[in-house]
Amino acid sequence: MKQIGYLRTLTAKLLCAVFSFGLLGMARGLDEGLISTTVAQPSFIHEFHLEDADLSASEKANRLSNITSMVHIGSIPGAIFAFIMCEHVGILWTMRQLCVMWAAGVIIVITAAGSIGQVYAGRFIMGLGIGQAGVVVPIYLSEVATPTLRGLMVGTFATSEYMGIMIGYFSSWGTTMHISNNSSKQWIIPQSVQIMVAGILLLSSFSCEESPRYLCKAGRFAEGTRALSRLWNLPIHDPRIQREFEGILNQLGDTPAGTSIQRLGRALKQLVTDKSNPSRLAFLAITELLSQWSGATSVTTYAPKLFSLLGETGQSQKLLCTAILGAVKFVASLICTVFLIDYTGRKRPLITGIIIQFIAMLYIAIYLTVALPSTHPIHSKAEHDAVIVAIICLYLTGVGWALGWNSIQYLINAEIFPLSVRTVGSSVLMCFHFANRFGLSKAVPSMLLEDGLRPEGTFWLFAAVTILGLLWVWMRLPETARRNLEEANILIS
């Protein structure tokens, strides 16, 4: 099979890059999986007074959304900080410091001892680290990969996000089953997994190579050539190395390397003044808006609550259903990354995933509108069958997202910008990404309230945005598979 042939071209250095950088998607995944289940655990609810009787429904929703969204608030400045750090110290050292920042934030959270303010502060610091990963990882993996492996390598970031979600879900479910609801260990132990993962990835990064494109941008051309040679395990004078290196030099042109401050200034100026770059930003911003507000990330963040809306009321039962959702999304993303994204192109799996997501969101919206399960208990077999289909559709929203938007968004973002503005463009875009994530995670608890859109209205909104995203992809998204980065850049201008 062609897929197996491509996989054989993975060298030891590329595998190291996939492990150290690709698995950094677990930072966001672990946070999403853990926080969605942590805020549903009795020990955490009691310790931080999430459901005190003196709080109104809107106050409870606001406190919940503050906790879940604080990482997204921190991720916005984190994305800007990544641009500054990448230009100043390089991608490798930026990755190392973000691992330290991520772990430090987790330590602050698990030592909060009932102080909700400390939880907010710790999750904000976690966001500073996690937000940088969304910029650093797709850029690094796209810049070190061969053209035939770029989709697979960048796709590992999205896939590892689901690995993190799955681990987070199952670890919380396990402690809920085996640790007392009166013990803070019930939520602290799962949260501590993040510290171990951050430490392992930090240590493994010392076996990685710096990005050849960053080295060339900094004027270190000989080092850049040697790094590319080691990454691809080819002699320096091999035609493939020379062809790739020529493409890098052609895109850099005659611009002098300069200091990191000068490179920062030039990149910002070019992002604004070059007429093709604002159009790239606008294109990707619309893509981000349509993908985020299609609602699949909200299903991940608030899965236990959504399963309860569909009739799963037991604590262990809700968390088990949530854990299975994580496993389903991980498997779907893995299939897309390994078998589809580099071999069928970018658009086919994306369109397929969006269609699956739309059908699932539409059914849930219709079911919630007709059955009103929150106020009408289930009695007949037909009603029971309908809720089973609704639960399956909740899983299918994850399958559609994993096959579609989540496997594509980081890859397209890294492919569209030219080398000179790739880091700053990705940083600005990720700021917009996290602003949307914050807005969505903050809004959904209030949207679900009786005086808001209610559950059925929320899913009608998600279905409408999903179909708009399908039309946008069908008409506007270019196919970038099997092109080198420099060729992919000119498809949107």
Say if residues 255 and 249 touch (Cβ distance below 8 Å). Answer: no
Across 67-81, 169-183, 324-338, 359-373, least confident range = 324-338
Residue 267 pLDDT: 79
Dist CA 133 CA 142 (whole Å)? 14
What burial letters (b/e) apply to 111-124, b meaning 16+ CB within 10 Å?
ebeeeeeebbbbbb
With a cut of 70, say whether residue 377 has pLDDT above it: no
Question: What does pTM read for this prediction?
Answer: 0.79
Question: pLDDT class for 197, splitting at 50, 70, 90?
Answer: very high
Which amino acid is present at 121?
Answer: A
- Torsions phi, psi for 281 (to 5 deg): -60, -45
What pLDDT, on a 0 to 100 scale, did the predictor assign at position 130? Answer: 95
Scan for tokens 């810049």, then name that residue.
Answer: 143
Structure tokens at 80: 């800007």
What pLDDT is stored for residue 24 in this prediction? Answer: 95
The residue behind tokens 């993962």 is 197
Measured N-to-C along each axis, helices 276-292 and 422-447 cross at an angle, to the nearest 10 degrees, of: 30
Helices marked H in 39-182 — which ranges? 42-47, 57-89, 91-110, 116-144, 150-178
Higher pLDDT: 313 or 38? It is 38
pLDDT category of residue 279 using cuts at 50, 70 and 90: confident
Q: Quick one: which of 11, 415, 13 has its CA closest to 210?
A: 13
Overall average pLDDT of the 247-275 stretch: 75
- Mean pLDDT across the stretch 347-365? 92
d(CA 79, CA 429) in angstroms, rounded, equals 9
Report DSSP state, residue 293: T
In angstroms, the CA 45 to CA 152 distance is: 40
Any idea what the Cα angle at residue 386 is, between residues 384 and 391, rounded to 5°? 95
The answer to whether 201 and 99 are in contact (CB under 8 A) is: yes
Which pLDDT value is given to residue 327?
A: 83
Q: What is the pLDDT of residue 461?
A: 95
Percent of the chain with pLDDT over 70: 90
Tokens for 448, please give them: 């679900």
Q: Give me the mean pLDDT over the 161-173 stretch.
A: 87
Q: Summarize the confidence of residues 18-34 as an average pLDDT.
A: 92
What value does the mean pLDDT take over residues 138-157? 87
Q: What is the dihedral of CA 189, 191, 196, 199, to 10 degrees?
A: -150
Q: Is the pLDDT of residue 471 over 70?
A: yes
pLDDT tens per residue across span 327-339: 887 888 888 777 7
Task: Identify residue 225 by its one-letter amino acid code.
Answer: T
- 412-450 pLDDT per residue, tens: 777 788 877 888 888 888 899 888 888 888 888 889 888
Distance CA 38, CA 484 (A): 43
The pLDDT of residue 202 is 97
**Does domain 1-491 correspond to CATH entry 3.40.50.720?**
no
Domain layout of the chain by residue ranges? 1-491
Q: What is the average per-residue pLDDT within 462-481? A: 88
Range 160-165 average pLDDT: 87
- What pLDDT does residue 402 have? 83
